[in-house]
Amino acid sequence: MDSSEKYLRFARAAALGSIAASIVVAVLTIGGEEWTPLKDALKNAFTHHWLGKSVVSAAVFGVMFLLTAWKPSDVQKTTRALWYAIGAAALSAAAMTLYFTLHALGLV
């Protein structure tokens, strides 16, 4: 197996995992604030809601990585996945920060 192709697959898988984790963290965070049963479910399962988000995000990353790491990839696919990962992380961070700012101002 070509070593370069192997790492292209792994890099793409990690990027896809990062995308999934970014989306899940944002959904759990904003969703948990807006819908208390979700936050409570994380707390009940993991003793603390943030621990729950940590575990779930790591699990989502791991599962997505394992599901996609075997799929053949090339430079174009890996590059595109990385760009989407960058966008997902940036948007997720912006969305959560904006939400908490609006929440603190009493607007949401």
Partner 1 sequence: MTTLLASALILHVVLGLIGLACIHFALMQLIRREPPYGFVSKASFLSAAFFLLSWATGAYYYVVYYGTAVKPRILAGAYPWAHQVMMESKEHVFLLVPFLVVAVWLASRALQNASDPRLKVAASFAAATALALGTLVAAAGILVSGGVR
Which residues are near partner 1 by CB under 8 A? 2-4, 7-8, 10-11, 13-15, 17-18, 21-22, 25-26, 29, 47-48, 50-51, 53-54, 57, 61, 75-76, 78-79, 82-83, 85-86, 89-90, 92-93, 96-97, 100-101, 103-104
Q: Which is nearer to partner 1, 41 or 95 (CB)?
A: 95
Work out how close the CB of 62 gets to partner 1 at its nearest, in angstroms, rounded to a whole number: 10
Among 10, 6, 19, CA closest to 69:
10
Work out how close the CB of 32 gets to partner 1 at its nearest, in angstroms, rounded to a whole number: 10
Q: Look up residue 67 and give its amino acid.
A: L
In this structure, what token pair is assigned to residue 8? 């292209």
Q: Which residues contact 4 (CB under 8 A, 6 or more apart)?
A: none
* Rounded Cα–Cα distance for residues 52 and 46 (Å): 5
Work out how close the CB of 28 gets to partner 1 at its nearest, in angstroms, rounded to a whole number: 9
Work out how close the CB of 35 gets to partner 1 at its nearest, in angstroms, rounded to a whole number: 16
Distance of CA 26 to the CA centre of its chain: 8
